[in-house]
Amino acid sequence: MKTFKKDISLLLIASIMLTTCSCAFGNIEEDVLDMADDLGKNIVDRNYKKITKIAGEEDDKLEAVLSLSTDDSVSYNEAREIIASTLSYEVDEDSYEGDRKEGSVDIVFTYVDYEKVVDDNPVFADLGAFEEAVEDCDDTIEVTITFEFEKDKDGIYCTNIGDIEDIFPYSKEEFNFALDLYEYVDGITFIDCGPGFVYTDVDYISCTLGVTGDGQLLTWDYYYVVERDGVQIYQSSIITAECPTQLEAEYSATGSDILEDGTYDFIFYTADNEMLYSAFADVTHTEVTPSPTPTPVPSASGEDVLPGPEYVYPEDGIIALPDTDLVFDLPDGYYCLAPDTSDFQEIMGGDQWMADQAIFSAQNNLGTDLLVIRLNHQGYSSQSESFATMADNLVTGYSEYGTVTSTETSVTVGDRVFPAYIIGISRGSGTVYISICLVGDDDDTFLLTVMGLNSEELYDIMAGVSIV
């Protein structure tokens, strides 16, 4: 009996010890899976404080990543937040591996394929367009991270929270958001306009506003206003243009065969009433005379002026400046004017002296006029004082036509720096620019004059000048 009781006691003790050991040293799988679920939720919420509690330590780099915030742009930060809002997770319980002190489990994270969103949309009109593109994207990115856990006397902790950064590769991503629309416009072109931006005997005016760069990838909602002599006479409805290279506008006569004389300003606006660009053209009419014979181009002597002996008008637009080592290669769109054309007579303005000194004249399809004349047989570098006086005289002379500004500048060709002035004449909401530049060498000086709507045209022309 004693032996039997002893065996029973030993069996009881063994059972108690087995149960106790099982509780103290058993597998930690259930605890790890619960913690992994909490970790996944806090990663989706980007709750850094709760993540560090699960890890038992802090990670400054991870905190910066989870903020999704940089100093670049508020729009960038908000775009990253939109991507993060698509993040979800799932704990893969079947992937668990471990023992009584260590365990690991996979968490699968899924979020929108933002790279495809960006590839499919080279530029976003605004943050709303970005959010819409994200919502419309069905493609996703899947990231699997194996999180590792360890148990010590204080509890169970995740030991590799730094791997969370892999879920947020876009934490510093930049996105192509559109600039203000006026940054994408490139000047107004009046269709079939005569020299000097003048229409004669017309019943309508049409023009286009050029669109450049990323502006050609956007949808434009715009309208335009027409003013005559500073008084608004027309406003269009909102016009929508998809990925345009230009915006269009026109105005037709009402109740009359031709448009009334005056200065017509075309002003383009966004649908939000932000001005994009403006320019003007003059409208005039031909006085009815008893004689059907066309009136010749006026000149100081009542006859057409004739060019001097140095005047040339090559078809290829390449002109060697006489007695110098300078060669002009005119930009695309320019063509030299033959002396028997009305455009040549218009540029000369009936001045025979001007025609005698002319080397060449040219125009482009935007109505820009170009004239180069010989000034004297002295070096251009010695003419700065008289050139400044010439610019001052032009400013004074043009002041009766509107508000005049003058900007002193220069153009460099090779080792030579040619002085220049850009004079702007503003009337109504448009501006005409007259640029003058001294060119030549140590022995001869020439005057280049450009008139048009683009203040940068002088630089475009001089970019084609070379020293040979």
pLDDT tens track for 77-123 = 999 999 999 999 999 999 999 999 999 999 999 999 999 999 999 99
163 has pLDDT over 80: yes
Residue 61 to residues 51, 54, 67, 161, 269, Cα–Cα distance (Å): 13, 17, 10, 11, 46
Within 13 Å, how many C-alpha atoms sit on residue 468's CB side?
A: 14
pLDDT of 393-430, one tens digit each?
888 878 777 789 999 999 999 999 999 999 988 876 57
pLDDT computed for residue 23 by the predictor: 39
pLDDT computed for residue 286 by the predictor: 86
Of residues 446, 410, 440, the one with CA closest to residue 326: 440
Of residues 435, 464, 429, 428, the one with CA closest to residue 452: 435
pLDDT computed for residue 26 by the predictor: 57
Please state the rounded mean pLDDT for residues 59-84: 91
Please give the span between the terminal C-alpha atoms of the chain, in angstroms, as a whole number: 127
Domains, the chain, with CATH or none: 24-167 (3.10.450), 183-284 (2.60.40.1930), 318-467 (3.40.1000.10)
Residue 168 to residues 65, 163, 281, 367, Cα–Cα distance (Å): 7, 10, 55, 54
What is the reported pTM? 0.55
pLDDT of 26-55, one tens digit each?
589 999 999 999 999 999 999 999 999 999
Q: How far apart are CA 141 and CA 130, in angstroms?
A: 18
Q: How far apart are CA 418 and CA 283, in angstroms?
A: 37
The answer to whether 448 and 326 are in contact (CB under 8 A) is no
More confident residue, 381 or 411: 411
Long-range CB contacts (< 8 A, 24+ apart) of 35-38? Answer: 35/149, 35/156, 35/158, 36/91, 36/105, 36/107, 36/147, 36/149, 37/91
DSSP, res 214? G
Please state the rounded mean pLDDT for residues 182-207: 93
Q: How far apart are CA 413 and CA 418, in angstroms?
A: 8
DSSP letter string over 247-274?
EEEEEE-SSSSSPPSEEEEEEEEETTS-
Please state the rounded mean pLDDT for residues 316-329: 93
Q: How far apart are CA 42 and CA 264, in angstroms?
A: 64
The answer to whether 168 and 114 are in contact (CB under 8 A) is no
pLDDT computed for residue 428 by the predictor: 63
Determine which helix (DSSP H) or strand (DSSP E) holds 280, and give its type and residue range: strand 275-284
Please state the rounded mean pLDDT for residues 210-234: 96
Query: For residue 5, what pLDDT band results from cuts at 50, 70 and 90?
Result: very low
pLDDT computed for residue 17 by the predictor: 40
pLDDT computed for residue 134 by the predictor: 97
pLDDT above 90 covers what percent of the chain?
A: 67
